A and B are shown apart, each in its own frame.
Chain A
Amino acid sequence: MSEFCHRQAAHCESGVVSAMLSHHGLPISEPMAFGLASALSFAYLPFVKIGGMPLIAYRMPPRWIIRKASKRLGVRFASKTFRNQKRGMAALDRLLDEGRVVGLQTSVFWLPYFPDEMRFHFNAHNLLVYGREGDDYLISDPVFEAPVRCPAADLQRARFAKGALAAKGLLYYPVHVPQEIDYASKVPAAIRLNEKIMAHAPFRVLGVRGIRYLADNLIRTSRRRDARKRLPLYLAHIVRMQEEIGTGGAGFRFLYASFLQESAEKLDSQALADAATALTAAGDRWREFALAAARVSRKRSDMNIETLADLLRDCSAREAEVWAQLRQWLDSDEVKGNAD
């Protein structure tokens, strides 16, 4: 097996999949891994609380990318969780001694190489371990520029942190990796599933409707009696969910647009290229919203909440349009012959 090569990614899970498969002889970009996993979504989940605020997700839940990408590509992963922490560490050591690159699910908070300001309790971070030196593990953390190191005790704590989305020491590595991807059938299948998720979700808090729901909720929050205290925190919370929590910005919209563009080139499709451009424009609106929301939150702007909510509604409308375009492409003759 060749020397492991670190590559930086915008998102941990798609980054791990991309690095791992590329290492095993199936070169695949991060956006392609994200897109083929149909990982773009929107969900406003009021009953899941984070610091008393609703969970707002811009992608499918943790482990989705690994599961879906491997299923779609025919990759098989071996994975294991542990009750006993010592055994979990010993199993990792054994795999490393065999020369494997091992994926881990960890907490963010207990990884000492994270800058202090980025350390929050999120238990579903993904990283790769590619070796050991003394007491240190050699780690390729996809969201970092360069490989990092982590002492054994800290890594153990990060792997076995309890609570929501607890990793329970989860480790995984591929046991079978195909050597090529049939883009002509996989891309439409991936987009078809994602179109269902975004445009035909069964609840109004999901998909493009969910974005409108968030806009309405923003207005409701601004009318609460405790709005003076809660609204700034709520706005900051939305911005953090969108920009900070494991993403390369704009709630993964640019990542998916990049996937659409790469697919357009692979399949020589103008329709996909147009959809990529339209989704990029939607992503730009998300960024605009984040900037405005952050300023209102810090009272550095007197933009009213109605205008902020309208920005979100515009994001929703733009994304609905993108998925309508993609639906058309899926139903066109260009795709028909290549059903998966």
Chain B
Amino acid sequence: MQRREVPQDAERSTYGGHRKLVYAVDDAGHYTGVQSQGWEAESEATRLAIEEFETLRDEAWLRAHNGLTSPLEVHMYDRRMDVPLLAGASGIWRWRVRRHFDPSRFARLPRRILQRYAEALGLDVATLTRLPARRSRDL
């Protein structure tokens, strides 16, 4: 990559105003570090990944609202986690996590289990057990 080819797509960058270092060659063919403000290809891929989590969260929110899943699933996607990740972060087996998506089971969970989820998700127990307000743009 030539120095002048280093992408500077600041417009839709996912770097939040930061610049990332990449290595590129100058006219003499010498490698130097060059700062990049963002790149279309990367930011599109990142956005798609984020949007996927948001979609999953919004779908889960609707289901939770209709009593079909527990707030746990909503919070999980809201923290950009999936079941394997949450299982790892909380130290609770995947199949148990899935069972805890059952609202009535979730409501009966002892505090010590809730505490582990809360810690893994960086929430307090009170927030964890409540369904958050709708946050999505197009729900």
Contacts and interface: CB of A to CB of B under 8 A. Distances in A.
Interface of A: 8-10, 30-31, 49, 51-52, 109-110, 114-121, 143-145, 157, 161-164, 166, 232-233, 235-237, 239-240, 243-244, 248-250, 254-255, 257-258, 261-262, 276-277, 280, 283-284, 287, 290-291, 293-295, 297-298
Contacts of B17: 115
B25 A240 contact: no
Interface stretch (B67-75, B81-89, B99-107, B128-136): B81-89
Given A49-B84, A118-B15, A261-B31, A157 B122 contact: yes
A152 to B, nearest CB: 15
A144 B33 contact: no
Interface residues of B, number: 43
B21 A294 contact: no
Given A8-B33, A254-B22, A254-B24, 13 more contacts: A10-B23, A30-B33, A31-B31, A115-B17, A117-B46, A117-B50, A118-B15, A120-B80, A121-B80, A166-B88, A243-B41, A244-B45, A262-B31
A290 to B, nearest CB: 5
A164 B88 contact: yes
B48 interface: yes
B32 to A, nearest CB: 9
Nearest to B31: A258
A293 B44 CA distance: 10
13 contacts: A10-B22, A31-B23, A117-B15, A117-B47, A144-B18, A157-B122, A243-B39, A244-B46, A249-B1, A287-B1, A293-B41, A297-B48, A298-B48
Given A143-B20, A239-B41, A294-B40, A110 B80 contact: no
Contacts of B42: 239-240, 243-244, 290, 294
Nearest to A291: B41
B45 A143 contact: no
A280 B1 contact: yes
A237 B48 CA distance: 9
B88 A163 contact: yes
A114 B1 CA distance: 27
Nearest first, the 4 closest Cβ-Cβ pairs linking A and B are A115-B16, A163-B88, A258-B31, A294-B41
Contacts of B84: 49
Interface of B: 1, 14-25, 29-31, 33, 35-36, 39-42, 44-50, 52, 79-82, 84-85, 88-91, 120, 122
Contacts of B31: 31, 254, 257-258, 261-262, 276
A294 B1 contact: no
A8 to B, nearest CB: 5
B20 A121 contact: no
Contacts of A10: 20-23, 33
B21 A109 contact: no
Contacts of A250: 1
Nearest to A121: B85
A163 B45 contact: no
Given A10-B33, A118-B16, A290 B85 contact: no
Contact of B89 (A49, A163, A262, A276): A163
A248 B23 contact: yes
Contact of B29 (A31, A145, A254, A277): A277
Given A10-B20, A31-B31, A280-B25, A119 B45 contact: no
Contact of B49 (A9, A240, A248): A240
A31 B24 CA distance: 12
A9 B88 contact: no
Nearest to B91: A162
A303 B49 CA distance: 22
A250 B1 CA distance: 10
Given A121-B85, A162-B89, A257-B31, A109 B46 contact: no
Contacts of A294: 40-42, 44-45
Contact of B45 (A166, A236, A249, A254): A236
B23 A121 contact: no
B21 A248 contact: yes
